[in-house]
Structure 1
Amino acid sequence: MAEALYEVTDKRFSRKVLGSARLEELHTGCRWTEGPVWFSDHDCLYFSDIPNQRVLRYLASDNSVSTYLSPSNFANGHTRDRQGRLISCEHGTRRVTRSEPDGSVTVLADGFGGKKLNSPNDVVVASDGSIWFTDPSYGIISDYEGYLSPQEQSVHGVYRIDGETGAVTLVISDFIQPNGLAFSPDESRLYVADSGASHDPEAPRHIRAFDVVDGGKAVRDAGPFAVIDNGIPDGFRVDSDGWVWCSAGDGVHVFDDTGALTGKILVPQRVSNLTFGGKRRNRLFITATTSLYALYVNARGAQTP
C-alpha cells in the first residue's frame, strides 16, 4: 500500500481502500471547493466554488467540468431530496433552497423566529423527507464567502424542515460552529461536526453524535464521537457499514462506527468535504481547497436518494 496515499492506524482500514487505486485530480483553479453531491441518474457531480460564486458540474462520461450556476449566491453545501431535486445552502441569501425541474427555485428556509438565518452551510435529507441543515456564521463574518452582515440568531444551530408541512424547528442549539452532518445508515443516529476551532484554537474540533428520537423529529445528545487531529472537521459522509469518512487538514480521516480512527487518505490540499458516487457508490469525490479529487475505494456510501 502506497505510503504517500494512505496512513493505516487499524488493519481494518486496509480492507476499505484499494492499494492499486490512485488519487485523481479532476479539476483545479477554484478558490474554495465545497458541497459535492452525486446525481446517479445523470452520472454527474455538482460542487461549489464558494468565493467565485459558482456551482460546477463534473460529468463522469468525459471527465469534463463546466459551470452549472453563476452567480450562485455563494452556495456551499448541497444534497438531493427523495424526488431527485437539488437542495442547496446559500451563504449570500442566508437561505436553503430547492431547484425545481422547470428551473425555478423554491425557498425552503430563510429565517427562524422572525430573524434571518446566519448562513446555512451543509444539508442532508432523511427518508421521511425532512431536511436537516447547519447554520454557522461563516457566510456573514466576511465578504469572501458571503456578505459581511450582523448576526440575528442568538445561536449557531442545527435545524429541521418538516417534509410535509415545511415547518422549521431548531433541534440543536449548543454548537460553536456546526458544519457537516450525516445520518447513520439506519437513521437512528445523527452526526454533526463542530468546526469552531477554525477561528478559536481552544474550540472543539470534533464530531458529535445524537440519537434520533420522537419519530425522527428530534435528537438526544450522545456525546462526542470522534476528534480530528489535523485541521478541523468540515464535511463528511457515512458508508454502508456506518463508518464515518471525514474531511481534515491532511486529507480524509476514516472512523469506524464507534468513533475509533482506522486510517487516513492523505490529500495534497486541505479537504473541505467529500461524497460517495459512481455507478456503485464506491468512488470517493473529494473537494479540497482549489481542486476536485476522486479515488476508488473498497467501500460504498450509505444509500442516499
Structure 2
Amino acid sequence: MQKTSPLFLACSFLFLGVVQAQITDLRSLLAPGATVELLGDGYKFTEGPTPDKNGNVYFTDQPNNTILRWDATSGEISTFAAASGRSNGLYFDKKGNLVACADMDNQLWSWDKNGKHTTLIENYDNKLLNGPNDLWVDKKGGIYFTDPLYKRDYWTRDPAMQQDGQHVYYLSPGGKTLTRVAEDLKQPNGIVGTTNGKTLYVADIGDRKTYVYDIQKDGSLANKKLFVEMGSDGMTLDSQGNVYLTGRSGVMIYDKSGAEIGNIPTGKGWTANVCFGGKDRKTLFITAMDAVYGVKMNVPGAK
C-alpha cells in the first residue's frame, strides 16, 4: 500500500499527462476541502468494492485473482483471498458472508469470515453463465446480479456467449430458485438497490443507459424507466438516495430525478466501481485502474 498527499496526487496526474478536472458538488455532499486521496496502488485492475458492517472495504484485483481488504481503522490493505476465482463484483449478505461474482468458472461464490468459499450458482438452465459481473443483495437475502459477456484470456471454456443473451438474474433467498428478471438489455453491468427493497438500478453499459425498476414481492422487476443516458461499470447510493455511477468521467453523481449534481474525477482512463466505507460510512471508496482512492463525504452511504 502507498499513501500520498493531495498535492503529490495532483502532480502525479500532471506527470502522467492527465489533468485532473475540478470536482463539482452542487448539493454539499463532499466534506469541506475534500480531495481525492490515494489509498493504495500497484494493482492491475481494481473492482468490486463493498463494505462490511464495520466499514472495512473489500475489493478485487481481478487480473491478479485476489480479494483485498482496506482496514477502516488503520488504512492498511491486506489480502483476504489469494485465489478468488477471478472475482469481480462483491457484496455482503445479511449473515456477513461475502458474495462474489467468480468469473473464472462463471459462478457465484460465498466466502465466510474465515476465508472459505462455497459455490452458490454453477449454471442457468444447465448452461454456463456468460460471466457474472456485479451484484446486490436485498434485505430478504435474495441476490440480483448482472451477466454480461467479457471474453477472458484465462477461460478454458468456449469463450462464446453461453446464454441466449446478456441478462439480469435473481437468486431467491436461501438459493432455491434462479430466475431471469431482465432480458431486454444489451450489456448489463453495474447494479444496486435501495435499502427499502423497492427499487433497483441497472446500468446497460453496452447501450450507455441506466434504468430504474420497481421490485415486486416475488423478486421480479416491473415498470422499467430510463434513469439517465449513461451506462456504468459500478454504482452505489448514499443515504439521501443519490446515485453514484462510474466510467471514463470518474464518479458521476445524480439525484433521484436523474439530475446531475456532482462529478469526482480520478484522473484515470477508467473508474470501475464505488462504495461508501469507513467507520461512519462517510468515505467514498473508488476503484480506478491500478489504484484505489478515498474521498471524505458529508453524507453517508445508504444502509
Taking structure 2 as the reference length, the TM-score comes to: 0.88
CA gap 1:24/1:244 in 2 versus in 1, 3 angstroms:
same
> In the TM superposition, what whole-angstrom CA distance separates every residue of 1:108-164 from its partner, at most 9, and x where no partner exists?
1121111011100011110111111111111xx131689762322101111111113
How many equivalent residue pairs?
A: 284
1:71 deviates by: 2.2
Q: Which moved more, 1:65-74 or 1:175-184?
A: 65-74
Aligned 8 A contact 1:91 1:120 in 2: yes
CA gap 1:164/1:67 in 2 versus in 1, 3 angstroms:
closer
The residue aligned with 1:218 is 220
The residue aligned with 1:38 is 51
1:23 deviates by: 1.3
2: CA distance, partners of 1:49 / 1:23 = 20
> In the TM superposition, what whole-angstrom CA distance separates every residue of 1:191-246 from its partner, at most 9, and x where no partner exists?
001111xxxxxxx2111111112x14110142210123xxx511000111111011
Q: Which moved more, 1:186-195 or 1:15-24?
A: 15-24
The residue aligned with 1:240 is 239
Aligned 8 A contact 1:5 1:267 in 2: no
1: CA distance, partners of 2:209 / 2:285 = 22
Aligned 8 A contact 1:285 1:293 in 2: yes
Aligned 8 A contact 2:166 2:185 in 1: yes
The residue aligned with 2:229 is 227
The residue aligned with 2:130 is 118
> In the TM superposition, what whole-angstrom CA distance separates every residue of 1:235-286 from its partner, at most 9, and x where no partner exists?
0001111110111212110000011111211111121000011122111000
The residue aligned with 1:199 is none
2: CA distance, partners of 1:142 / 1:103 = 25
1: CA distance, partners of 2:40 / 2:283 = 16
The residue aligned with 2:253 is 254
Q: Percent identity?
A: 33
1: CA distance, partners of 2:249 / 2:90 = 23
Residue of 75, 87, 92 corresponding to 2:104: 92
1:33 deviates by: 0.5
1:184 deviates by: 2.3
Whether 2:81 is the aligned partner of 1:69: answer: yes
2: CA distance, partners of 1:223 / 1:146 = 38
Please give the secondary structure, in 1, of the residue aligned with 2:64: coil
Aligned 8 A contact 1:209 1:224 in 2: yes
Whether 2:278 is the aligned partner of 1:289: answer: no
Taking structure 1 as the reference length, the TM-score comes to: 0.88
Aligned 8 A contact 1:51 1:145 in 2: no
Q: Which runs of 5+ in 2 are unaligned?
A: 1-19
> In the TM superposition, what whole-angstrom CA distance separates every residue of 1:170-204 from its partner, at most 9, and x where no partner exists?
111111111111112322211001111xxxxxxx2
Please give the secondary structure, in 2, of the residue aligned with 1:164: helix
Whether 2:152 is the aligned partner of 1:142: answer: yes
The residue aligned with 2:198 is 188
Amino acid at match of 1:27: G
Matches within 5 A, 1:73-84: 73-84=85-96
CA gap 1:186/1:296 in 2 versus in 1, 3 angstroms:
same
2: CA distance, partners of 1:146 / 1:39 = 33
The residue aligned with 1:299 is 299
CA gap 1:78/1:27 in 2 versus in 1, 3 angstroms:
same
> In the TM superposition, what whole-angstrom CA distance separates every residue of 1:62-121 from its partner, at most 9, and x where no partner exists?
222122212222110000000111000011110001112454322111211110111000
CA gap 1:61/1:165 in 2 versus in 1, 3 angstroms:
closer
Aligned 8 A contact 2:101 2:108 in 1: yes
Residue of 28, 31, 50 corresponding to 2:41: 28
Query: Which structure features the higher share of strand residues?
Result: 1
The residue aligned with 1:268 is 267
The residue aligned with 2:13 is none
Q: Which runs of 5+ in 1 are unaligned?
A: 197-203
1: CA distance, partners of 2:156 / 2:72 = 30
CA gap 1:144/1:252 in 2 versus in 1, 3 angstroms:
farther
